[in-house]
Amino acid sequence: MTTATTPTRSTARERGEGARPWLALLVFAVAVGLAAGLGGAAAGSAGSEYASLEQPPFAPPSWLFGPVWTVLYVGIAVAGWLSWRAAGVDAAIAWWVVQLVLNAAWTPIFFGAGEYGWALVEIGFLLAAVVATIAVVRRRSTLAAWLLAPYLAWVGFASVLNASIWWLNR
């Protein structure tokens, strides 16, 4: 009698042995840092450009963006890592990468190119990608999904802010 065996993904425990999980956390942190750095490099004068725009009354001061994004980026990195720990590389990680690429693309479009309308279209895709990421990640790690919730809220707010700035500065 023979039995068929099917390949299985490594378990969270197997991925948790040794230094590998901490190295993976570093990889997720570096990926997020690269996305943030690419966006920042493309928008060196973002603070002065933001100040020069006609803004809605609810627009936050420019100094607030740095601290908020720092906290959000930490949550994004840890959420990706937790999802990986729970299920390995799968659809959740693919969505995590998609949202990160879209995140990195918004700043050069908005600040680098000054294309507020195209940035609004792009942030709509980012918002959808964050929702999809949370939906898929939630099946692997509830904590990871909750870590992405403030990011979703901020991208939603940023979408409204982007729309308002586009409208006021057409």
Give percent above pLDDT 90 in the chain.
Answer: 77
Residue 47 confidence class, pLDDT cut points 50, 70, 90: confident
Separation between Cα atoms, residue 46 and residue 30, nearest integer Å: 23
Confidence of residue 8 (pLDDT cuts 50, 70, 90): very low
Alpha carbon 82 to chain centroid, angstroms: 14
**What is the per-residue pLDDT for 42?**
74
Q: How confident is the model at residue 5 (pLDDT cuts 50, 70, 90)?
A: very low
Structural contact between residues 103 and 123, judged by C-beta atoms closer than 8 angstroms: no
**Could you tell me the pTM of the whole model?**
0.86
DSSP string computed for 69-136: HHHHHHHHHHHHHHHHHHH-SSHHHHHHHHHHHHHHHHHIIIIIS--HHHHHHHHHHHHHHHHHHHHH
Query: According to the model, what pLDDT value does residue 70 have?
Result: 95
How far is it, in rounded angstroms, from Cα 147 to Cα 149?
6
The residues near 135 (Cβ < 8 Å, ≥ 6 apart) are none
User: 109-161, pLDDT tens digit by residue?
Assistant: 999 899 999 999 999 999 999 999 999 999 999 999 999 999 999 999 999 99
Q: Classify domain 20-168 at the CATH topology level.
A: Ferritin (1.20.1260)
